[in-house]
């Protein structure tokens, strides 16, 4: 407990009346930190802190790297800026690695009482706040805007994947379109474009880059640290990351393996508006990044840009999980959370232009490629609706082609309402693409319109980008043949299993017919294809994993 006498030695409290000091001392939390222990993390709800003993370090995420920015010493206070601006904490604070620290913590209301209780105290807090805001201004001028310079062309698929990976991991990058900005080519390329290249942190040049080589140059983990885990989670979409957060926070040794960028389908959503707790919606990238930080904070390990290619039950009941390149780890439990992939559009010429104007899905970083252009979206579901609303802010014209009568049967009403407010979105019913044409990239699509009553007609659209979002399929062919699937390849679990090998117990909910292999999210038979249900299943799976581990004495 903090005494009024201890507070009196601190300048901000020295100017208060004794009775007020007593009042604040009685209500302050007395926080004692071990060396290196966190007091608050960046992005948390802000509190007001007064440092009583020791020193703390202010830590900020800058361009995907965690950096120590400066130190506070005993007697100083902090946290007033975000509270008075109504913002979350701008930076994290932890005790110095060399010593313990002791901090008095006050909530926002108590800070306001301090500001109002004494003119001297208020002047001190507000002057300090002004100085700190000046420091933020200097910081904004000095901080580099990106760590990665990516040089390539709009139609290069490697570049597109790298850009998607960087965006999904919230790593700012500068993009030089070699077709348009040849004069901006970096010195290390001798002014000539000879295929995509990446410059990381101003000095590292990755020639013929891949997503993995860029990830490694940025210091992102791509290799498992250990050989054995309690749980290996395959896929870092909402279901996989939720399992990572719950598993690691409950003491399990968890490895999440993700073949591309964490976030899964949700990571490509321009705006998720129906996820609880985000009244104004949240972009898929933001949600993914937060979940990733959360999983990492609890100690879940994530190996990015790695694909699980094979799993096999070992003699002792554990599983061998084989990653691309033949690397193996073992696990008591495997959780399959591999989601779904876009269904391909079967129309003449579409395959030839994939990545050259034809894209499956619609990630936010395509926005800069469609400014002032003509966009066609195929599909009438929510993902097509989100993409139409998002691209309408950039493109000259967005045409949405739907096979059915309209959007009412397939799209949420909040998206239909948003589409109605955009003057440059045109919804064309009863229509499908039959042909894609162009020279070296997509230039035109031919469409067929078949209304239930009336003549079939053909038409063409000049188009710069065709985004296809016509449903999804489960890609589960790589899993053991003995794993039970439905006719669409989705994995059966729990009560949906036909035949179960063990006599002594029934399968757990979310357990497949291979004991110890669980499944969550979109890839599961009959799952509800939503972010919240993926998150729910991923976290529920961990509860059953605990029961499974206890039962098998792992």
Ligand X SMILES: Cc1cc2nc3c(=O)[nH]c(=O)nc-3n(C[C@H](O)[C@H](O)[C@H](O)COP(=O)(O)OP(=O)(O)OC[C@H]3O[C@@H](n4cnc5c(N)ncnc54)[C@H](O)[C@@H]3O)c2cc1C
Binding site for ligand X (CB under 6 A): 234-240, 257-260, 264-266, 268-269, 272, 274, 307-308, 337-340, 361, 382-383, 386, 521-522, 529-532, 534
In the bound state with ligand X, the residue whose beta carbon lies nearer, of 12 and 389, is: 389
Residue 323's SS3 state is strand
In the bound state with ligand X, the residue whose beta carbon lies nearer, of 196 and 534, is: 534
Nearest-approach distance from CB 424 to ligand X, in angstroms: 20
Residues in a beta bridge with 444? 437, 462
Indicate the Cα dihedral angle 71, 291, 365, 475, nearest 10°: 150
In the bound state with ligand X, the residue whose beta carbon lies nearer, of 301 and 522, is: 522
Which of 48, 53, 38 has the alpha carbon at shortest distance from 7? 53
In the bound state with ligand X, the residue whose beta carbon lies nearer, of 112 and 543, is: 543
Nearest-approach distance from CB 350 to ligand X, in angstroms: 19
In the bound state with ligand X, the residue whose beta carbon lies nearer, of 54 and 534, is: 534
In the bound state with ligand X, the residue whose beta carbon lies nearer, of 187 and 409, is: 409
Distance CA 453, CA 455 (A): 7
In the bound state with ligand X, the residue whose beta carbon lies nearer, of 159 and 236, is: 236
Query: Angle CA(249)–CA(44)–CA(221) in degrees, nearest 5?
Result: 55
CA atoms within 13 A on the CB side of 248: 22
Backbone angles phi, psi at 18, to 5 degrees: -60, -40
Nearest-approach distance from CB 282 to ligand X, in angstroms: 9
Nearest-approach distance from CB 455 to ligand X, in angstroms: 34
Nearest-approach distance from CB 272 to ligand X, in angstroms: 4
Would you say 134 and 96 are in contact if contact means Cβ atoms under 8 Å apart?
A: no
Nearest-approach distance from CB 352 to ligand X, in angstroms: 24
Distance CA 387, CA 365 (A): 12
| Strands (DSSP E) found in 389-507 | 397-401, 425-428, 431-438, 442-449, 457-462, 465-468, 472-473
Would you say 338 and 235 are in contact if contact means Cβ atoms under 8 Å apart?
A: yes
Which of 93, 97, 105, 81 has the alpha carbon at shortest distance from 41? 93
Nearest-approach distance from CB 548 to ligand X, in angstroms: 20
In the bound state with ligand X, the residue whose beta carbon lies nearer, of 96 and 363, is: 363
In the bound state with ligand X, the residue whose beta carbon lies nearer, of 239 and 252, is: 239
Q: How far is CA 389 from the centre of its chain?
A: 21
Would you say 83 and 108 are in contact if contact means Cβ atoms under 8 Å apart?
A: yes
Nearest-approach distance from CB 253 to ligand X, in angstroms: 18
Would you say 361 and 342 are in contact if contact means Cβ atoms under 8 Å apart?
A: yes
Which of 550, 553, 546, 551 has the alpha carbon at shortest distance from 250? 546
Nearest-approach distance from CB 547 to ligand X, in angstroms: 22
Residue 332 CB coordination number (10 Å): 21
């Amino acid at each position: 407990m903090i005494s009024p006498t201890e507070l009196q030695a601190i300048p901000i409290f020295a100017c208060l009346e004794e009775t007020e000091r007593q009042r604040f001392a009685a209500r302050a939390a007395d926080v004692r930190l071990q060396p290196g222990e966190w007091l608050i993390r960046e992005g948390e709800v802000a509190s007001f802190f007064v440092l009583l003993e020791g020193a703390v370090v202010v830590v900020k995420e800058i361009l995907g790297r965690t950096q120590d920015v400066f130190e506070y010493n005993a007697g100083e206070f902090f946290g007033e800026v975000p509270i008075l601006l109504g913002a979350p904490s701008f930076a994290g604070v932890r005790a110095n690695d060399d010593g313990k620290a002791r901090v008095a913590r006050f909530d926002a209301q108590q800070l306001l009482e301090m500001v109002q209780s004494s003119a001297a105290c208020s002047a001190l807090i507000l002057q300090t706040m002004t100085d700190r805001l000046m420091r933020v201004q200097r910081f904004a001028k000095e901080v580099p805007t990106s760590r990665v310079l990516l040089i390539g062309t709009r139609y290069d698929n490697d570049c597109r994947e790298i850009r998607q990976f960087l965006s999904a991991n919230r790593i700012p990058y500068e993009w030089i379109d070699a077709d348009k900005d040849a004069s901006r080519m970096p010195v290390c390329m001798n002014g000539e474009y000879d295929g995509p290249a990446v410059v990381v942190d101003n000095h590292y040049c990755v020639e013929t880059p891949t997503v993995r080589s860029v990830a490694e140059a940025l210091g992102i983990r791509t290799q498992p640290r250990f050989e054995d885990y309690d749980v290996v989670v395959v896929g870092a979409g909402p279901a996989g990351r939720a399992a990572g957060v719950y598993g690691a926070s409950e003491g399990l040794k968890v490895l999440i393996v993700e073949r591309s960028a964490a976030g899964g389908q949700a990571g490509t959503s321009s705006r998720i508006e129906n996820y609880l707790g985000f009244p104004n919606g949240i972009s898929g990238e933001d949600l993914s990044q937060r979940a990733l930080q959360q999983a990492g904070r609890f100690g879940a390990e994530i190996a990015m840009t790695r694909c699980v290619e094979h799993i096999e039950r070992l003699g002792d009941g554990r599983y061998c999980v084989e990653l691309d390149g033949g690397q193996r780890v073992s696990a008591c439990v495997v959780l399959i959370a591999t989601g779904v992939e876009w269904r391909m559009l079967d129309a003449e010429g579409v395959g030839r232009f994939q990545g050259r104007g034809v894209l499956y899905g619609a990630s936010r970083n395509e926005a800069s490629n469609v400014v002032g252009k003509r966009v066609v979206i195929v599909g009438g579901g929510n993902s097509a609706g989100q993409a139409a609303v998002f691209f309408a802010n950039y493109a000259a014209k967005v045409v949405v082609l739907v096979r059915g009568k309209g959007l009412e049967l397939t799209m949420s009403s909040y998206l239909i309402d948003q589409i109605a407010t955009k003057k440059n979105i045109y919804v064309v019913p009863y229509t499908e693409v039959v042909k894609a044409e162009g020279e070296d990239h997509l230039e035109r699509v031919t469409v067929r319109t078949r209304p239930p009553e009336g003549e079939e007609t053909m038409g063409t659209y000049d188009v710069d980008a065709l985004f296809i979002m016509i449903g999804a399929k489960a890609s589960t062919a790589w899993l053991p043949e003995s794993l039970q699937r439905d006719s669409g390849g989705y994995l059966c679990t729990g009560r949906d299993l036909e035949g179960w090998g063990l006599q002594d117990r029934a399968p757990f909910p979310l357990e497949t017919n291979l004991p110890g292999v669980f499944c969550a999210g979109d890839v599961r038979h009959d799952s509800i294809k939503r972010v919240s249900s993926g998150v729910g299943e991923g976290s529920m799976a961990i509860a059953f994993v605990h029961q499974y581990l206890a039962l098998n004495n792992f």
